[in-house]
Amino acid sequence: MNRFDFHIHATDGRARTGTIATQRGTIRTPAFMPVGTAATVKGMHPEQVKAAGADIILGNTYHLMLRPGAERMARLGGLHRFMNWDRPILTDSGGFQVMSLGSLVKMREEGVSFQSHVDGSKHFVSPERSIEIQRLLGSDIVMAFDECTKHPASHEQAASSMRLSMRWAKRSRDAFLENPAPALFGIQQGSLYRDLRQESAERLMEIGFEGYAIGGLAVGEGQESMFEVLDYAPDMLPPDRPRYLMGVGKPSDIIGAVLRGVDMFDCVLPTRSGRTAQAFVTTGTLNLRNARHAEDTGPLDPECPCPTCANYSRAYLHHLFKAEEMLGPMLLTQHNIWHYQQLMQGLRDAISEGRVEAYARDRLDRMDQAAA
Amino acid sequence: MNRFDFHIHATDGRARTGTIATQRGTIRTPAFMPVGTAATVKGMHPEQVKAAGADIILGNTYHLMLRPGAERMARLGGLHRFMNWDRPILTDSGGFQVMSLGSLVKMREEGVSFQSHVDGSKHFVSPERSIEIQRLLGSDIVMAFDECTKHPASHEQAASSMRLSMRWAKRSRDAFLENPAPALFGIQQGSLYRDLRQESAERLMEIGFEGYAIGGLAVGEGQESMFEVLDYAPDMLPPDRPRYLMGVGKPSDIIGAVLRGVDMFDCVLPTRSGRTAQAFVTTGTLNLRNARHAEDTGPLDPECPCPTCANYSRAYLHHLFKAEEMLGPMLLTQHNIWHYQQLMQGLRDAISEGRVEAYARDRLDRMDQAAA
């Protein structure tokens, strides 16, 4: 039941393409995981998420522990059955979102106390409880409980935060091994400091995980700083294990990270943008509320094979957003998820064929044209 | 191109079942038309509306003339192409919604002046303009422009209003014949007065239409009063033409009207209820926000063959509504539309097999059980 086999089928420079075989299906890497925060990828039926090519989605421990609740979810048969998604699910640890609650949070060595944003009820999450919750949800890929170091952080702050996360990583691993799921991923921290990233990687490898995430990026440092860290951070992690860059990102972020050896991604951008009328297209982005689309009978993206582009015009999508019709977010989210999945397929193909640099340059060049 | 052939295949008491053959497909009667106000059946992809068994949908002239606009819609290739719906569309005349604007409306013999609820712009609709708009939209079944008599109305008020509608019906017909679509339906008015319903029916038949609607009901008079009118009003209309009861209704309203010889219906109830957490089920209605559903792993309705009931629990739908997730309205609207279409199929089958009275009694009895 706990199968988790990562195989790299081809490399091209530092980029890699492969598969993760699990009991619930195969994940092709580099992979983009649509975010299903509250047991739904917002605005999409799960069969549409599958049809877009998503092999795995992400669920949010923080949201699900509050509503419907972890024990209740277990009684209801687990997250997969609840939301009608039979492919793999990765769950975050809840740490990032709990610690975003600001004044409602109290952090100690033992764990984090906080008040629910839903009903003000009091909760406590430790590494042990986070792992238990993820097990109750039925997660295929469990994430270690950590502190996402804030940006900017001094070397001292970053070191202290990272070392707490490493102590929590060990406790996460110990709790996980009492009743293992297919995989537990450790999370590298260390902010923008190379020595701390190295120390974190070494500590995680001593503990040993099925996969390794790069945390604490995409928190406001900008793409250039993120890429500087990605110039060295992935190579500090075991080459034969999946590397997951958490919370990233724009298509250009993903392209840059794949070139630097990252295998997995998640981000709310395609779904959130779908709800706010922003379309990701080959030439960049479009705002569907813009009046210039009002009589445009063309599709969002003539190169996109998605059902939205096959069946609907920009004029129709513009109309739906102007009229505040639900179908606007539904169709645009569908397109954006397809766009991301098509990008991942393009990257996988290009790596397999040894032309990922040229593919990346072409994609980035065409985005720049639209921005100009 | 203007095919519109109504054939009655079976009758059972006053109830009838048949088909309307049009260029865009066959409409099985009795038919329920989901409402697609602003060029979308709210919360559903059109392929899901088809899969539910809807042969025809309704579009709203008032909303579409304001946004995206009738001439613009024509430039964009018409409503069918715009919204990706290739089956028949019936459009209302806009009169009902214009005249609901209250103080923003000025009515004269010539037509109605009003201000847009969208941007305050001034508009004028006459019978001639309503027919032109419906032609620009590409409607398959065009409705005559009329005044929906308010309830309650004195005999004098109802007579005056009905006679205005009859003059407008003649002007609608004349305008329609200049450039005909497949069908124009006249609308019987007369409030709750039998003599006025008779006068209206006679006037409409003198003019001659492809189908006849019964208007001015479901405006607050209650089911009992509505059924009293339906005890005589349908039989005043030509037996070989479809009869359409506008804006109706609850399942029990539809059952009672089918027994009294009505062939077509439209109502926002299944879609609107889907967005407000109300499910129509065999035993009545459910409010999905109710905490009693929180751990119910059963489907909405064990007898329903819809994708929502096949794949999701009441507990999940409860969760989606509590979390204010779009997928809640999406899944519940889908179920409600299936429920209505299943009811129509049940009525058609029962009429064909000469057991519609027993079928109706069984359906109504089971609804009452849930209410108790």
- % of chain B surpassing 70 pLDDT: 99
Contact B316 A82 (CB under 8 A): yes
| pLDDT class of A214 with cuts at 50, 70, 90 | very high
CB atoms B319 and A295 under 8 Å: no
* Inter-chain residue contact B76 with A297, CB threshold 8 Å: yes
Chain A residues lying within 8 Å of B45, measured CB to CB: 327, 330-331
Residues of A in contact with B330 (CB under 8 A): 43, 45, 326, 330
The pLDDT value recorded for residue B99 is 85
Mean pLDDT value across chain B: 96
* pLDDT of amino acid B370: 55
Give the max Cα distance, chain B. Answer: 61
Distance (Å, rounded) from C-alpha B92 to C-alpha B336?
22
- CA distances A309 to A300, A324, A332, B313, Å, are 6, 20, 9, 32
Identify the band that residue A2 occupies on the pLDDT scale cut at 50, 70 and 90. Answer: confident
Residue of A12, A55, A92, A253 with catalytic role: A92
Chain B contact set for A83 (CB, 8 A): 316
Residue B334 CB neighbour total at 10 angstroms? 26
* Closest by Cα among A145, A163, A64 to A99: A145
H or E element that contains B155: helix B155-177
Task: Render pLDDT for B235-270 as a digit per residue (tens, 0 to 9).
Answer: 999 999 999 999 999 999 999 999 999 999 999 999
Is residue A370 predicted with pLDDT exceeding 70? no
Lowest-confidence pick of A21-30, A99-108, B256-265, B326-335:
A99-108
Q: Can you name the residues that pair with B26 across neighbouring β-strands? A: B21
CA B330 to chain centre: 20
Cross-chain CB nearest to A294 (options B44, B68, B295): B68
**pLDDT at position B267, please?**
98
Strand A57-59 relative to strand A89-91, pairing: parallel
Q: Which of A134-143, B101-110, B162-171, B239-248 has the lowest mean pLDDT?
A: B101-110
Phi, psi of A184, deg, nearest 5 = -125, 130
Chain A CB contacts of B68 under 8 Å are 294, 315, 319, 322
* Cβ pair A40:B320 closer than 8 A: yes
The pair of structure tokens assigned to A330 is: 């539904």
* pLDDT at res. A343: 98
Mean pLDDT, range A162-186, rounded to an integer: 97
Peptide bond into B152 cis (omega under 30): yes
Give the Cα separation of B251 and B258 in Å (integer): 11
Interchain pair B76, A295: CB under 8 A: yes
d(CA B159, CA B68): 36
Long-range contacts of B252-256 (CB under 8 A, 24+ apart): B252/B223, B252/B364, B252/B367, B253/B218, B253/B223, B253/B226, B254/B30, B254/B32, B254/B340, B254/B343, B254/B344, B254/B347, B255/B343, B255/B347, B255/B360, B255/B363, B255/B364, B256/B223, B256/B226, B256/B227, B256/B230, B256/B360
Nearest one of A81, A47, A34, A23 to A307, comparing CA atoms: A47
CB-CB neighbors (< 8 A) of B326 in chain A: 40, 42-43, 326, 329-330
- Please report the sign of the dihedral spanned by the C-alpha atoms of residue B145, residue B148, residue B154, residue B157: negative
Residue with tokens 């669920």: A59
Distance from CA of B319 to the nearest CA of A (A): 6
CA distances from B155 to A75, B108, B151, B237 (A): 62, 20, 11, 21
What crossing angle do the helices spanning A194-207 and A155-177 adopt, rounded to 10°?
A: 10
Q: How far is B224 from chain A, CA to nearest CA, in Å? A: 35
CA distance B306 to chain A (A): 14
On whether the B4-266 domain is CATH 3.30.70.20, my answer is: no
Across the interface, do B295 and A325 touch by the CB < 8 Å criterion?
no
**Of A12, A140, A146, A266, catalytic:** A266
pLDDT of the residue at A261: 98
Q: How many CB pairs under 8 A join A and B?
A: 100
DSSP A58: E
> Known catalytic residues of B?
92, 266
Closest CA to A340 of A265, A244, A278, A277: A265
A369 pLDDT band, cuts 50/70/90, is low
Beta bridge partners, A185, equal A143, A211
Q: What is the pLDDT of residue A372?
A: 44
CA distance A47 to B223: 41
Taking CA atoms, A111 is separated from A164, A168, A208, B137, in Å, by: 10, 9, 22, 62
- Residue A1 above 70 pLDDT? no
Distances (CA, A) of A333 to A63, A269, A296, B212, B328: 21, 10, 20, 42, 16
Q: Please, which pLDDT band fits residue B163 given cuts at 50, 70 and 90? A: very high
Quick one: tokens of B62? Answer: 């008032």
pLDDT tens for residues B301-317?
Answer: 999 999 999 999 999 99
What is the reported pTM? 0.98
Are the CB atoms for A321 and A288 separated by under 8 Å? yes
Whole-angstrom Cα distance, residue A325 to residue B57?
17
Give the model confidence (pLDDT) of A250-291 as tens digits. 999 999 999 999 999 999 999 999 999 999 999 999 999 999
Across the interface, of B63, B75, B329, the residue whose CB is closest to A326 is B329
Question: Rounded mean pLDDT of B269-275?
Answer: 98
Residues of B in contact with A77 (CB under 8 A): 297
Is A366 touching B (CB cutoff 8 A)? no
Answer for the pair B260, B230: CB distance below 8 angstroms, yes or no: yes
Which residues lie closer than 8 Å to A76 by C-beta, 6 or more apart? Answer: A68, A82, B295, B297, B313, B315, B316
Which of B319, B322, B330, B334 would best serve as a mutation to test chain A binding (most A beta carbons within 10 A)? B319
pLDDT single digits (tens) A58-92: 999 999 999 999 999 999 999 999 999 999 999 99
A289 touches B: beta carbon within 8 Å: no
B350 C-beta neighbours (distance < 10 Å), count: 22
Cα B222 to its chain centre, rounded Å, is: 18
Give the residue extent of every domain in chain A.
Answer: 4-266, 274-371
- Cis amide prior to A68 (ω within 30 degrees): yes
The per-residue pLDDT for B372 is 44
